[in-house]
Structure 1
Amino acid sequence: MPSYLEFFAGGGMVRAGLGGRWKCQFANDFDPLKVQVYADNWGEKEILEDDIHKVDAESLGRRVDLAWASFPCQDLSTAGNGLGLGNATGGSRTRSGTFWAFIDLMKDLKANNRLPRIVVLENVVGLLTINGGEEFKAVIAALDRLGMRAGAAVVDARHFVPQSRQRVFIVGVSKTAKVAETLVRDQPHPIWHPAPLVKAVGKLSGQCREQWIWLNLGAPPELKKTLNKIVKDRPVGVEWHTPAETKRLLGMMSDAHKQKLAEAKKSGKRMVGTLSLRMRPLSGKTVQRTEICFRGLAGCLRTPKGGGSRPRIVVVKGGNVRTRLLAPAEAAALMGLKPRYQLPEIYEYAFRVIGDGVAVPVVSFLRGKLLTPLLRSIKNPRSSEPSKLKRGARSPGERSRRDQLELRI
């Protein structure tokens, strides 16, 4: 059974996605709330509540197949402060710079011949562009110094659940590992490798570009469940707004959004949409506006910071319009969690766990399409097709079969 280490584990959504055929050997998070939720759902045996800087490589056990790190995004997101990863030596590390503590652990494991066969790093897509791509460049260079070559994919949870949630997943494997040819593409895929990723790869050092892998994830699945099926008429943990509050919210809409509401009423169907509060310019001032959307998707769930950031929904059926906050159970469903998953009863606490998590079906997809076959090809190179990985991330016109590099164990 494949084994793994889970850092910045939160409520264990990566564990949920990897499933029972992968064995968690160790998990870590420093937030007591998230550690408690992890323990409530998975038990206390593997989870350690502590700062990652204090985690000792000796306590991580035998060599594992995978190390997963969903390191903090606050200093890398477009809504953040742009501080980036900070200094690798620890002199000016940021919250997102706890990435370096993870790398330090991997260095210690490598020194003892226990470096995991695969490393997965997950974060917001802002990692690709912030500070002109320098943070992404630093991450790939760090993997390179570990003796790993890297590939990446941008995966939006909207392919799996009705939530728009883009994340970049970076996968590192040993430069001496043999990777099945079926897991590698000659060129970037327009969905998994969008322009920001291609541009970021183009800014890597020559050595890192030479080793880059365009991961082959195949075609994205077709979303079968819409927001309409997630949102319940009788929610648990939240109440419908009073008619007065609904009227107040709808009164803050612009004409364009009032027209969207009118069209939803006219359809006569049960229409579920998102309702957001935004600050918009109006007549030389900035005012709060209510904006609605009926595309069947929720916006990206985040940790709650204030009233305006809480996810709200609007349900329309004929002339009846109701509004309320999104319920914790509905948010959990939007992350692909099972109904039996235990969340804190306090609303803000539940969303603190959910907002920092990884969409479970995305992890499952990566497990099936990439991680399991990748591990199989690394461990059993004779049973997989020869890997002919490209020497470098070149433009399509520059690529040729003669440029492929066959890796050895």
Structure 2
Amino acid sequence: MPSYLEFFAGGGMVRAGLGGRWKCQFANDFDPLKVKVYADNWGEAEILEDDIHNVGPESLGRRADLAWASFPCQDLSTAGNGLGIGQAAGSNRTRSGTFWAFIDLMKRLKANGRLPRIVVLENVVGLLTINGGEEFKTVILSLDKLGMRAGAVVVDARHFVPQSRPRVFIIAIAKTSTLADELIRDRPHPIWHPATLVKAVDKLSPQCREQWIWFNLGAAPELKKTLNKIVKSKPVGVEWHTPAETKRLVSMMSDAHKQKLAEAKRSGKRMVGTLSLRMRPSHGKTVQRTEICFRGLAGCLRTPRGGGSRPRIIVVKGGSVRTRLLAASEAAALMGLKASYQLPNVYEYAFRVVGDGVAVPVVSFIRGKLLTPLLRSIKKSRGADASRPRRAARGRAEKSRRGQLELRV
């Protein structure tokens, strides 16, 4: 059974996606809340609550097949501060700069022959563009110095669940590994390798570009579940807004969004949409506006920082208009988590876990399409390489014996 190490593990959504056919050997997070949620769902055996800077190779066990690191995105996202991952030797590392602690740990594993066969780094797509692509370039160069060649895919959760959540997944393997032909493309795929990724790859050093892998994920799956299926009429943990509150929210809409609402009413169908509060310019000043969207998709879930940033939904059926907060259980469903997954009872805590996680079906998709066959290909190539010297040795021995017989004759 393949084994893995899970860093910045959060509530264990990568573990949920890798499933029971992969064995978690070690997991780590420094947030007590997330560690408790992880333990509540997966047990305490593998999870360690500690800063990654304090984690040493002695805690990680035997050589693992995979190391997965969803390192913090705060300094890489468009909503962040743009500080990036900082310098490897910097004394004041950013939160996203905990990437360097992970790389340092991988270096120590390599020094004693235990570098995992596959390394996966997951983060927001801002990693590709922030600071002109320099952060992405630094990440790939760091993997190159580990003796690994890399490729990347951008996967949006919207292919699997009704949530727009694009993320970049960098997958690295040893430069000496041989890959099966079906795992590689000779050119980028328009869905998995968008223009932002292609542009970022073009900025890599010549050596890293030469080693680059365009991984083949095949065709994109078709979304089967809409937001209408996720949002419940009788939610758990939240209440529908009062008619007065819903009226207030509607009154804050621009004419364009009031028109969207009127069209939803005229449809006669149950229309479920998202409702957001945004600060917009109006007549020379900035005012708060209510904006709605009926695309059938939720926006990217994140950790709410205040009342205005909490995810809200609007449900329209005929002349009925109802609004409320998105329930924690609905947010979990938007991440592809099972109904049995245990979240904190406190609303803000539940969203702190969910908003920082990785969509479970995306991990499952990458596991099935890439990680499992990739590991199989790596081990097969290593087995073939290991057998060649023995065959050559047998061939030399046979030739020597034939020569000795000829001399005797």
> Structure 2 length normalisation: TM-score?
0.93
Q: How does 1:7-406 map to 2 (within 5 A)?
A: 7-381=7-381
Q: In the alignment, residue 97 of structure 2 is paired with which amino acid?
A: G
SS class of match (1:78) = coil
2:395 aligns with none
Q: Is the alpha carbon distance of 1:383 and 1:220 closer, same or farther for their aligned partners in structure 2, counting shifts above 3 Å?
A: farther
C-alpha distance in structure 1 between counterparts of 2:304 and 2:25, whole Å: 31
Q: In the alignment, residue 268 of structure 1 is paired with which amino acid?
A: G
Q: In the alignment, residue 135 of structure 2 is paired with which amino acid?
A: E
1:394 aligns with none
> Is contact 2:7–2:71 with CA below 8 Å preserved after alignment?
yes
Q: In the alignment, residue 98 of structure 1 is paired with which amino acid?
A: T
How much identity, in percent, do the aligned residues show? 85
Q: 1:222-256, CA deviations, whole angstroms, 9 ceiling, x for partnerless residues? A: 00000000000000000000001000001100111
Q: 1:334-379, CA deviations, whole angstroms, 9 ceiling, x for partnerless residues? A: 0000000000000000000000000000000000000000000000
C-alpha distance in structure 1 between counterparts of 2:228 and 2:50, whole Å: 40
Q: 1:240-290, CA deviations, whole angstroms, 9 ceiling, x for partnerless residues? A: 000010000011001110010001000111000000001111011111000
- Cα drift, residue 87 of structure 1: 1.1
- Cα drift, residue 382 of structure 1: 8.2
Q: In the alignment, residue 286 of structure 1 is paired with which amino acid?
A: T
C-alpha distance in structure 2 between counterparts of 1:160 and 1:348, whole Å: 25
SS class of match (2:376) = helix
> Is contact 1:161–1:223 with CA below 8 Å preserved after alignment?
yes
SS class of match (1:380) = helix
Q: In the alignment, residue 129 of structure 1 is paired with which amino acid?
A: T
- Cα drift, residue 59 of structure 1: 1.2
- Paired residues in the alignment total 384
What runs of 5+ residues in structure 1 fail to find an aligned partner?
A: 385-409
Kindly indicate which of the two structures has a greater share of residues assigned to helix. Answer: 2
Cα RMSD of the aligned pairs, angstroms, is 0.9
Q: 1:92-113, CA deviations, whole angstroms, 9 ceiling, x for partnerless residues? A: 3110000000000000000000
Q: In the alignment, residue 318 of structure 1 is paired with which amino acid?
A: G
- Cα drift, residue 58 of structure 1: 1.4
C-alpha distance in structure 1 between counterparts of 2:221 and 2:295, whole Å: 18
SS class of match (2:188) = coil
1:395 aligns with none
> Structure 1 length normalisation: TM-score?
0.93
Q: In the alignment, residue 150 of structure 1 is paired with which amino acid?
A: A
- Cα drift, residue 27 of structure 1: 0.1
> Is contact 1:377–1:383 with CA below 8 Å preserved after alignment?
no
1:3 is aligned to 2:3: yes
SS class of match (2:72) = coil
> Is contact 2:177–2:382 with CA below 8 Å preserved after alignment?
no
SS class of match (1:278) = strand
- Cα drift, residue 383 of structure 1: 9.3
Q: 1:113-167, CA deviations, whole angstroms, 9 ceiling, x for partnerless residues? A: 0000000000000000000000000000000000000000000000000000000
Q: In the alignment, residue 96 of structure 1 is paired with which amino acid?
A: S
- Cα drift, residue 380 of structure 1: 1.1
- Between structure 1 and structure 2, the one with the greater Rg is 2
What runs of 5+ residues in structure 2 fail to find an aligned partner?
A: 385-409
Q: In the alignment, residue 182 of structure 2 is paired with which amino acid?
A: T
C-alpha distance in structure 2 between counterparts of 1:221 and 1:128, whole Å: 24
- Cα drift, residue 57 of structure 1: 1.1
- Cα drift, residue 91 of structure 1: 2.1
2:392 aligns with none
C-alpha distance in structure 2 between counterparts of 1:97 and 1:335, whole Å: 26
- Cα drift, residue 381 of structure 1: 2.4
C-alpha distance in structure 2 between counterparts of 1:301 and 1:254, whole Å: 24
Moved over 6 A (4+): none
Q: In the alignment, residue 186 of structure 1 is paired with which amino acid?
A: D
C-alpha distance in structure 2 between counterparts of 1:56 and 1:109, whole Å: 9
Question: Quick one: higher RCO (CA 8 Å, sep 6+), 1 or 2?
Answer: 1
Q: 1:19-76, CA deviations, whole angstroms, 9 ceiling, x for partnerless residues? A: 0000000000000000000000000000000000000111100000000000000000
Q: In the alignment, residue 159 of structure 2 is paired with which amino acid?
A: H
C-alpha distance in structure 1 between counterparts of 2:154 and 2:91, whole Å: 31
